[in-house]
Structure 1
Amino acid sequence: MRTALVLLFLLALAALPGALLPQRSLNSQKVDEYIASHGWWGELLGRLEFYNVYGSVWFSAVYLLLFISLVGCLLPRTFEYAKSLRAKPVLTPRNLARLPHHHETTVDATPEQVMAAAKERLKGWRMTEREEDDGARSISAERGYLRETGNLLFHFAMLGLIVALAIGKMFQYEGQVIVLANGSQFCNSGTLGYDSFRPGLRVDGTDLNPFCVKVNDFTANYLPTGQADYFRADIDYQSGADLETNTWRPYQLEVNSPLRTAGDRVYLLSHGYAPTFTVTFPDGQTRTHTTQWRPVNQLTYLSEGATKFDPPGVTDPAERRKRQLAVTGLFAPTAVFSGDLMDSGFPDLRDPAVAVDVMRGDLGSDSGRGQSIYEVSQDMVDQGRLKRVARENMRPGDVITLDDGTKISFDGVQRWVYLQVSHDPAQGWVLVFAVLLVLGLGTSLVIKRRRLWVRTVPAAEGGGTVLLLGGLARTDQAGYGEEFGRVTEDLLAELAPSPEREDAVAGREP
């Protein structure tokens, strides 16, 4: 048990870097920034796996050793406990007066009457009656065996919790995706449908639970101060047999009220806005894109982003890279202007507007490097291959005309929702073991192991019986003195003289 406690302390200590340092599984960019700002020290922490604490060799080693230690601790204790349940209570001590709680008196009753009264009062106790060598009779009684049961339950529940968490880490997955609230759909058919995806150790993304979600509308209600009151997404979903019959079932998805289907949970995490722009090219062809922009201010939902367009009908790659367009800048759901500078004064759509820069040239989409959908490549700008050709503040319906006749209109804005899909096959067992852990801990703290002995000896003179009582708490003695006193008082009250008992002791007919 000491080893298990030491390992549990080490596990808690080993988890501290995971809370204090950025982790690659959560934010790889933060890790790179931390390493760059701390030089050799940051690189050393990386080699020691401090940016992947919960998947590191040393954390897993402590975790495994704790598991082995708990098993090695619990098995012998369980066998010993099973043996003690079958064994009889211990013999009555020779001198009960040495115990912390004891009482001795002479009662006007026969030893048989005293023993019968004692057994009646000690119902519910495990007890054994014995005949002693000197003619005395005694009862050994014990109570509080559930304390050890709770103790074992607590540790077995901890063991089960460790196993359930380990299984969850192996077979769980978690993904996030942004879906426009205009009837757009998301299907859990593979990792390519997600914006970000974190698989478990045994998940490769090819065998996900199939289901589909269609986001019809999104409602956000705000207090006059701008604080969010509630978010609600009206969705339809289908899973199981519904996928074959193309049956959609309605559901109102709210924060902390996930959709549970196909063994997965779909959470509503956040929302935002997606401006719609239409580009009319000089040849009359049009392209309309609605792209999500990310909030940069969570209070007012001032958002930034970039909506990118390829020129239609251009087959020459070099020429196409010269004529790509990007509308980038800021979006305000409730625009507030200070001169030409725009900000947002409220998170809801009261007076939407955008402050945009129109960029033309090579967006770098063919460079082979990944790009953020929220911004243009700064490298292309620095190299002069992507240039700004217009800057305007726009409200819905406004149009910008470029020098080559291209027209860009701001058509309006749609909402998007940020969904998270979580799958953990062991979550039910985690809950069960957590509840058992609390129950076991409470039982072991509340119930006390205690022993009580009753010895009766025929009085040498005057008749009656010498009654000796002794009590001992197996663990903490606090509170046992009151219980011992109650047992003694009840027993003496039961044996108090009465006319019937006096006649029986004297051998007279009542």
Structure 2
Amino acid sequence: MRTALTLLFLLALGAMPGALLPQRSLNARKVDEYIAGNGWWGRFLDDLQFYDVYASYWFSAIYVLLFVSLVGCLLPRTWEYFKQMRARPVLTPRNLARMPHHASAEVGTTPDDVVANAERRLRGWRRVTGEEADGTRTVSAERGYLRETGNLVFHFALLGLLVAFALGKMFGYEGQVIVQADGGQFCNSGVYNYDTFRPGLRVDGSGLTPFCVKVDDFSASYLHNGQAESFLADIGYQSGADLDSGTWRPYPLRVNSPLRTAGDRVYLLGHGYTPVFTVTFPNGQTRTGAIQWRPVDPVTLASEGATKFDPPDVPDAEERRRSQLAITGLLAPTAAYRGELLDSAFPAANDPAVAIDVYRGDLGTDSGRGQSIFSLDQKMIEDGKLKRVARQNLGQGEQLTLDDGTTVRFEGVRDWVSLQVSHDPAQNWVLVFSVLVILGLGVSLSIKRRRVWVRATPLGDGRTLIEVGGLARTDQAGYGEEFGGLSRDLLAHKEGS
């Protein structure tokens, strides 16, 4: 047990870097920034797998050793408990006056009557009676064996809980995705459908359980200070046979009220806004862009992002790259102006407006490098390949005109929701073992092992000396009162009582 406690302490100590340092499974960019900012020390921590703590060899070694230690501790205890359950209670000691609890009295009844009364009073106790050569009768009783049962249940459940957690981390996964709340759909058909995806150690993303979610509408209510009061996404979902029949089943998705389907859980994490821009090019053709912008203020939901356009009907690739457009800036759901500076006063879309910069040139989307949907490639701006051609505040329905006659119109905003899909095949076992941990701990703390002995010695004049002794096998707190009640009942035949 000392070894198990030491390993449990080491496991908690080993988990500290996972809480204090950025982890690759959560944010690889933060890890790269931390390593770059800390030089050799950052690289040294990387060599020790401090940025992948829970998948590191040393953390896994502590975990496995803790399992081995717990099993090595529990098996002998279980066998010992099994032998104790089959054994008879300890025989009555000769000198009961040396017990922590003791009472005696002379009564005018026979030892047989005393033993019969003791057996009635000790019904439910494990007991054994005996008789000595001089006619003395004894009763040995013990109670509280369920304490060790609860203790073993607690430790085995703790072991099972650790195993369930490990299996969940190995075969579970978690992914997040943004879906437009105007009928936008998401299908759990592959990792490429997610914005971020964190697989378990044994998950390669090829065996995801198929299901689809469609977000039909979204509504939110806020307090007067802008604090969110409730989020509700009206969604439809398909799983199993519904995928073949095309049946959509409605579900009101709320925060902390996930949709459970196909063995996965779908959570509503939050929401934001998608500005809708319509660009009319000089040739009269139009393009409408609706790409989500990310909130930069969690209170007012002021958002930033970039909406990008390719010019229509430009066959020459070089000319097309020089004519790409991007709209970037700030979106305010409820506009509040400080002079010419746009800010957001409330998170609801009461009076949406945008403060935008319009860029024309090569966006770098054809370079083969990955690019964030929320920002522009700063290298293209620094190289002069992407230039700002306009800056203006626009309210809903307003537009601006560029130097070549292109117009940019702000149509308004749409809602988007952030969904999280979690898959944990061991979650039911985690629940079962968690309940058993609590029950086992409750039983082991509430029940006490205690023993009581009764000796009835004939005095030769028709009287009998009754001695009662008690011993608490664990904590003695509370046993004095119980022993007092037992001794009064067992000595109830005392004359004059």
TM-score (norm 1): 0.96
| Aligned-residue offset at 1:368 | 1.8
Q: What residue in structure 2 maps to residue 145 of structure 1?
A: 145
Map 1:351-362 → 2, pairs under 5 A: 351-362=351-362
Moved more, 316-325 or 92-101: 316-325
Q: What residue in structure 2 maps to residue 389 of structure 1?
A: 389
| Aligned-residue offset at 1:442 | 1.2
Q: Secondary structure at the match of 1:279?
A: strand
| Aligned-residue offset at 1:37 | 2.2
Q: What residue in structure 1 maps to residue 175 of structure 2?
A: 175
| Aligned-residue offset at 1:496 | 4.3
Moved more, 197-206 or 352-361: 197-206
Q: Distance in 2 between matches of 1:194 and 1:289?
A: 21
Q: What residue in structure 1 maps to residue 370 of structure 2?
A: 370
Q: What residue in structure 2 maps to residue 250 of structure 1?
A: 250
Q: Which amino acid aligns with 1:490?
A: D
Provide Cα deviations, 1:183-218, integer angstroms capped at 9, x if missing partner: 111111111111111111121111111111110110
Map 1:371-450 → 2, pairs under 5 A: 371-450=371-450
Q: Distance in 1 between matches of 2:30 and 2:193?
A: 25
| Aligned-residue offset at 1:497 | 4.5
Map 1:97-496 → 2, pairs under 5 A: 97-460=97-460, 462-493=461-492, 495-496=493-494
| Aligned-residue offset at 1:340 | 1.3
| Aligned-residue offset at 1:492 | 2.0
Moved more, 468-477 or 131-140: 131-140
Q: Distance in 1 between matches of 2:494 and 2:95?
A: 25
Moved more, 268-277 or 390-399: 390-399
| Aligned-residue offset at 1:72 | 0.7
Q: Secondary structure at the match of 2:66?
A: helix
Q: What residue in structure 2 maps to residue 508 of structure 1?
A: none
Q: Which amino acid aligns with 2:481?
A: E
| Aligned-residue offset at 1:174 | 0.7
In structure 2, list runs of 5 or more residues that go unmatched: none
Q: Distance in 1 between matches of 2:57 and 2:116?
A: 65
Q: Distance in 2 between matches of 1:61 and 1:387?
A: 55
Q: Distance in 1 between matches of 2:176 and 2:279?
A: 30
Q: Distance in 2 between matches of 1:489 and 1:308?
A: 90
Q: What residue in structure 1 maps to residue 42 of structure 2?
A: 42
Q: Secondary structure at the match of 1:437?
A: helix
Q: Distance in 1 between matches of 2:140 and 2:282?
A: 103
Q: Secondary structure at the match of 1:46?
A: helix
Q: Distance in 1 between matches of 2:411 and 2:368?
A: 32
In structure 1, list runs of 5 or more residues that go unmatched: 500-510
1:33 maps to 2:33: yes
Q: Secondary structure at the match of 1:217?
A: strand
Q: Distance in 2 between matches of 1:279 and 1:206?
A: 40
Q: Which amino acid aligns with 2:77?
A: R
| Aligned-residue offset at 1:33 | 2.0
Q: Distance in 1 between matches of 2:70 and 2:208?
A: 34
Q: What residue in structure 1 maps to residue 9 of structure 2?
A: 9
Q: Which amino acid aligns with 2:477?
A: A
Q: What residue in structure 1 maps to residue 85 of structure 2?
A: 85
Q: Distance in 2 between matches of 1:192 and 1:26?
A: 17
| Aligned-residue offset at 1:172 | 0.5
Q: Distance in 1 between matches of 2:429 and 2:457?
A: 56
Moved more, 205-214 or 418-427: 205-214
2:105–2:494 contact (8 Å) kept in structure 1: no
Provide Cα deviations, 1:469-499, integer angstroms capped at 9, x if missing partner: 1111111111111111110012222x24589
Provide Cα deviations, 1:262-287, integer angstroms capped at 9, x if missing partner: 11110000100000111111122211
Q: Distance in 2 between matches of 1:315 and 1:90?
A: 98
Q: Distance in 2 between matches of 1:350 and 1:94?
A: 89
| Aligned-residue offset at 1:408 | 1.2
Q: Distance in 2 between matches of 1:105 and 1:13?
A: 59
Moved more, 32-41 or 346-355: 32-41
Q: Secondary structure at the match of 1:370?
A: coil
Q: Secondary structure at the match of 2:13?
A: helix
| Aligned-residue offset at 1:154 | 0.5
Q: Secondary structure at the match of 1:152?
A: helix
Q: Which amino acid aligns with 2:227?
A: Q
| Aligned-residue offset at 1:121 | 0.4
Q: Which amino acid aligns with 2:196?
A: S
Q: Distance in 2 between matches of 1:241 and 1:133?
A: 81
| Aligned-residue offset at 1:81 | 0.6
Q: Distance in 2 between matches of 1:130 and 1:401?
A: 108
Q: Secondary structure at the match of 2:491?
A: helix
Provide Cα deviations, 1:44-78, integer angstroms capped at 9, x if missing partner: 11111111111111111101000011111111111
| Aligned-residue offset at 1:364 | 1.0
Q: What residue in structure 2 maps to residue 504 of structure 1?
A: none
Moved more, 58-67 or 19-28: 19-28
| Aligned-residue offset at 1:313 | 1.9
Q: Distance in 2 between matches of 1:428 and 1:14?
A: 27
2:104–2:491 contact (8 Å) kept in structure 1: no
Q: Which amino acid aligns with 1:485?
A: G
2:168–2:424 contact (8 Å) kept in structure 1: yes
Q: Distance in 1 between matches of 2:339 and 2:463?
A: 107
Moved more, 27-36 or 387-396: 27-36
| Aligned-residue offset at 1:92 | 1.1
Q: Distance in 2 between matches of 1:37 and 1:242?
A: 51
| Aligned-residue offset at 1:133 | 3.7
Q: Secondary structure at the match of 1:41?
A: helix
1:18 maps to 2:18: yes
Q: Distance in 1 between matches of 2:48 and 2:313?
A: 53
Moved more, 130-139 or 233-242: 130-139
Q: Distance in 1 between matches of 2:257 and 2:362?
A: 44
Provide Cα deviations, 1:384-435, integer angstroms capped at 9, x if missing partner: 1110000010012111211112111111110000000111010010011011
Q: Distance in 1 between matches of 2:372 and 2:387?
A: 18
